[in-house]
Homo-oligomer: A and B are copies of this chain.
Amino acid sequence: MKIEDVELYYLKMPEVLDIADGSQDALLVRVSAAGRSGWGECEAAPLVSIASWNCPMSHSICKPVRASVLGQRLESVADIHRIHALVRHDSMDLLQADHTLSGVDMALWDLLGKQRGEPAYRLLGYDQAYPKTAYASQLFGDDPQATLHSAKRARSEGFLAAKFGWGPFGLGAVQADEDQLHAAREGLGEDGILLVDAGTAWEDDVEQAALRLPALESVRARWLEEPFRSGALGAYAELARQSGAVRMAGGEGCHTFDQAKHLMDSGGIGYVQIDAGRIGGITSAKQVADYARTQGITFVNHTFTTHLALSASVHPFAGIEADELCEYPAAPTALGSDLTKTKIVPDANGRLHLPDAPGLGVEPDPAAIAKYLVDVEIRVGEELLYRTPEVPR
């Protein structure tokens, strides 16, 4: 196959709210070759990732992503690695390129899987996809009562695990956070797996974070996610030394394998959380999963958007039985839930199974694309660099 065409679709909710819900917009990527299409999704800031696909070249290592993708041969896994490396090199000085590459890379795995008639995890070298325990990923409520309610709902929907993050957590008094944590544990029940996401609230302030450790231990939080900004490795390592049974988790901000490796090597984390929509797609996520395994660190996907992004984020560690948890966007926007007809729904035991279908096994619904599609036009000089494409049939 030769890559003939790549289309980008910017979707968004009619109203985007100033809350940490990442499912309010999406950038879909469709790669076409030999009569087939593969689909991927870039995380966040669709317009900027479109620009990094289409922009004029600045110099030899600051080319638009498309320069390294269109017209390329795609016959094998080695071709995906080759295209991936070419984008990383020729767009080295284009910061946003890693996010754009992420969606393109997913689409390449989807496309090659469809052409081969095999799920992407098989192309990645896994014999099988182990089921994962899905955790309902949601925001802390505005008050403990709201969090209690969310936790109960997650449990009643069959989830064995839930994560609470952002909202007011970490931004006010220690007591307020403690009340939130106890509400979450109460709602989840004694045997639920409780995970906590501080949303980088303490920047690099270990002392502030440490004040929450007794409550986190008391509610038996399995991990504390992103107490600090992504790069504050020293703070991560220091808190990890104090946190006992509560393990550190982080990594969603990483846009290269190298960054995830530094976090694993120097941050003392127990869980590395990778968003395939940011790190460079399935290719880089798999590289992280492989390295994590050698370090005794558990890999977890980071996903807060659609079931297409979910599938692409789970494939990279599908075959590693010990990596048993899986982030599940439990309360997405209508856009997040409408996008695909195929839904990846946890079973009665709260376990998630990847679709047993070629590629990523999840296809965007043209009707949903039509419903949420945003009209964009970018002109540079006389040239129309980008115009929102027609809805695919």
Interface flag for A232 (CB, 8 Å): yes
Known: A47-B56, A60-B19. A231 touches B255 (CB 8 A): no
Looking across the interface, which residue of chain B has its beta carbon closest to that of A230?
B258
CB interface residues, A 257-313, toward B, < 8 Å: 257-259, 261-262, 265-266, 278
Docked-complex contact A20 and B59, CB < 8 angstroms: yes
Cβ contact of A57, chosen from B16, B54, B57, B385, cutoff 8 A: B16
Q: B377 touching A379 by the CB < 8 A rule?
A: yes
Contact of B93 with A96 in the complex, beta carbons under 8 Å: no
Q: How far is the CB of A265 from chain B (nearest CB, A)?
A: 8
The reply on A375 being an interface residue by CB < 8 A is yes
Q: Is A52 an interface residue (CB 8 A)?
A: yes
Is B47 within 8 A of A59, CB to CB?
Answer: no
Closest chain B residue to A378, Cβ basis: B378
Q: Are A94 and B231 CB-contacts (below 8 A) given A262-B266, A379-B375?
A: no
Once the chains are docked, how many angstroms separate the CA of A54 from the CA of B230?
Answer: 24
**Interface status of A61 (Cβ within 8 A of chain B):** yes
Contacts of A233 in B (CB 8 A): 258, 262
A22 CB to nearest B CB, Å: 5
Distance (Å) between the CB of A193 and the closest chain B CB? Answer: 26
Q: How far is the CA of A349 from the CA of B381 in the complex (A)?
A: 44
Interface size on A, residues (CB 8 A): 64
Contact A45 B379 (CB under 8 A): no
Chain B residues contacting A60 (CB-CB under 8 Å) are 18-20
Given contacts A375-B379, A376-B379, contact A59 B21 (CB under 8 A): yes
In the assembled complex, A229 has its CB within 8 A of some CB on chain B = yes
- A56 partner, pick from B12, B57, B89, B381, beta carbons under 8 A: B12
A378 vs B387: C-alpha distance in the bound complex, in angstroms? 10
Q: Is B48 a contact partner of A16 (Cβ separation < 8 A)? A: no
> Interface digits, A83-98 against B, CB 8 Å rule (1 contact, 0 not)?
0000011001111101
Query: When the two chains form their complex, are residues A52 and B48 in contact, meaning their CB atoms are under 8 A apart?
Result: yes
Give A20-57 as 1s and 0s: 1 = Cβ < 8 Å from B's Cβ atoms. Answer: 11101100000000000000000111111011101111
Contact assessment for A45 and B58 in the assembled complex, using a CB-CB cutoff below 8 Å: yes
A58 touches B25 (CB 8 A): yes
CB distance from A92 to the nearest CB of B (A): 7
Give per-residue flags for A57-78: 1 if the beta carbon is below 8 A from chain B beta carbons, else 0: 1111110000000000000000
Q: Is A99 in the interface zone, CB < 8 Å from B? A: yes
- In the complex, which residues of chain B have a beta carbon less than 8 angstroms from the beta carbon of A253? 92-93
A385 to B374, CA, bound (A): 13
Query: Are A232's CB and B255's CB within 8 A?
Result: no
Minimum CB–CB distance for A378 against chain B, Å: 5
Q: Considering the complex, give the chain B residue whose CB is closest to the CB of A166.
A: B60
Distance to closest chain B CB from A114 (angstroms): 29
Q: A60-B20, A266-B262 given as contacts; is B378 within 8 A of A377 (CB)?
A: yes
1-23 of chain A: CB within 8 A of chain B: 10, 12, 16-22
Q: How far is the CA of A231 from the CA of B261 in the complex (A)?
A: 9
Contact mask for chain A residues 199-213; partner B; CB cutoff 8 A; 1 contact, 0 none = 010000000000000
Report if A243 contacts B (CB, 8 A): no
Q: How far is the CB of A44 from chain B (nearest CB, A)?
A: 5
Q: Which 10 A-B pairs have the closest CB atoms?
A: A231-B258, A96-B96, A51-B51, A47-B55, A377-B379, A48-B51, A44-B93, A45-B94, A44-B58, A44-B62
Known interface pairs A95-B278, A232-B258, A375-B381; 7 further A-B residue pairs with C-beta atoms within 8 A, sorted by A's residue number: A45-B52, A45-B94, A46-B58, A48-B55, A52-B96, A231-B259, A374-B380
Of the A-B pairs whose beta carbons lie under 8 Å apart in the complex, a sample of 9, sorted by A's number, is A16-B58, A20-B59, A22-B93, A25-B56, A25-B58, A231-B256, A231-B257, A259-B259, A377-B378
